[in-house]
Amino acid sequence: MNHNTPNTFYATNAFTGEPLPDAFPVHGEKEVAQAAEAAAKVARQFRRLDNHKRASLLCSIALELESHSGEIVTRAHLETALPDVRLNGEIGRTANQLRLFADVVRSGSYHQAIFDTPNPDRQPVPKPDIRRQQIAIGPVAVFGASNFPLAFSAAGGDTASALAAGCPVIVKGHTAHPGTSKIVAECVEKALQTEGLPSAIFTLLQGNRRELGQVLVTHPKIKGVGFTGSVGGGRALFNLAQQRPEPIPFYGELGAINPTFILPSAMKASESLAEQFVTSMTMGCGQFCTKPGVVFALNTPETQAFIETAQTLIRKQIPATLLTQGIKQNYQSEVEKRSSDAGINVTFSDAQSPNVASALFVTDSKNWRENSSLEEEIFGPQSLVVVCDDFEDMLTLSENLAGSLTATIHATTQDSALVEQLIPCLEEIAGRLVFNGWPTGVEVGYAMVHGGPYPASTHVASTSVGAEAIHRWLRPVAYQSLPEALLPDALKTSNPLGIQRSIDGKVL
């Protein structure tokens, strides 16, 4: 029975499909306008806030999340069917990335202070004093993700990096876990109170209608968007962001098949590759954005043994409970469609309703070339093995792949000459190259790139994970010939912030 009304909606128990207690408001144009206007009013104050105060806010949010972890995990488990151990790990990841951005803010490195010193005697014209730094772009909208109710949702990576940059945030909570988002939002609100900062720096909006996201993206006070979700939904919002009278940056993570290439010597050398592969593809019920969605291997006896082992392991998989009924229905539909391909061999695990079966598809390179739909991501516990005639066949396929978050190579030193040919191809289609590992698991650090060419990301030069994510919400401003007293602290000659700067091309 549908308990939703025009003004309220209910969360769904991911295990039973039944509505959970407590209604949530359906926000719309009025609430977007209120939140965006309020955010705009505090945006200038927030971006000029002392670095240590902004870092303190991020750490306060982390503490609040940790202190309410029991309540968060209990609710998130009901709404997503994710196990407690996974959710506790996600709270740890969320708190850690908040603290990472606190470190980034304290260091002042995000200012990227650059100086061109003046030379009044230069001919034919004097050289002016020009100094440059990065400043926050203003209020941003963040869309919660279905598959990470904490790390990529209300207080997740997009929110953390935007707050670190000095941007007020308006979160559009995901309908898959509104109760979890509400508790997390209350943690952020408590942190703002603790730090004595305006509540308008963070707002959670909820609703089960597509219009909420559309209105949020097109509101003139919103200056940037962070999105993790489907290609269709993300592309529609991206188009709206670009069609505004003032187009704004839209950082969307939309979809990826994350190809894996297993070279001959590696296939011979490891007896556990098939087990590692199945573990990675079914992790989190195959709902990780970095799941290895396709494996390319050569037509050898070792590859056939790899496939047979993987098929055996697939048959033993426990039936999966997916995050939402919509994801389940889409998964079943896409798996059924792919299974009907005459050039596909498919192996299923057992499944009892309301759960779904894991699936392993096997095909050859000829069928891959003839069926472009095989390169489309299927969100859930499935993957595809493509058997190539030889390495040249594999290399040609690698040169024609769409953008992905990751690309993985399994090889030994005996495969070095082949790896050297593969790497330039994979650099062009992926944001992260993995060697002799599996792509599931994204380290939150300084060097991480979680992005890539479209459709992995709508902005190829950015990352949504790691310290560099802060730069999505910043823009450069140059100050020419300003008196010392009027310069921002990051650009004053006395360097009151004690930060690293670049002066005439030399880092000091």
Going through 373-499 in order, the beta strands assigned E by DSSP cover 382-388, 404-410, 430-435, 474-480
Which phi and psi angles does 294 have, rounded to 5°? -150, 140
Closest CA to 347 of 300, 385, 291, 380: 385
- DSSP 8-state class, residue 154: T
Rounded CA-CA distance 238/250 in Å is 6
Q: What is the DSSP string of 301-343?
A: HHHHHHHHHHHHHHHTPPPB--S-HHHHHHHHHHHHHHHT-TT
Rounded CA-CA distance 69/149 in Å is 13
Cβ distance 382 to 281 under 8 Å? yes
Rounded CA-CA distance 501/508 in Å is 6
Which one-letter amino acid corresponds to residue 501?
Answer: R
362: left (phi over 0), alpha (psi -120 to 50) or beta: beta
Cβ distance 260 to 294 under 8 Å? yes
Torsion over CA: 491, 495, 499, 505 (sign):
positive
Which phi and psi angles does 205 have, rounded to 5°? -110, 140
Residue holding tokens 């959970």?
Answer: 20
The greatest distance separating any two alpha carbons of the chain, rounded to the nearest whole angstrom, comes to 82
Catalytic residues: 253, 289
Return the structure tokens found at 478: 């140059």
Return the structure tokens found at 113: 């202070």
> Residues with Cβ < 8 Å from 70, sequence gap 6 or more?
none
Closest CA to 397 of 412, 411, 387: 387
224 forms beta bridges with 140
- DSSP 8-state class, residue 406: E
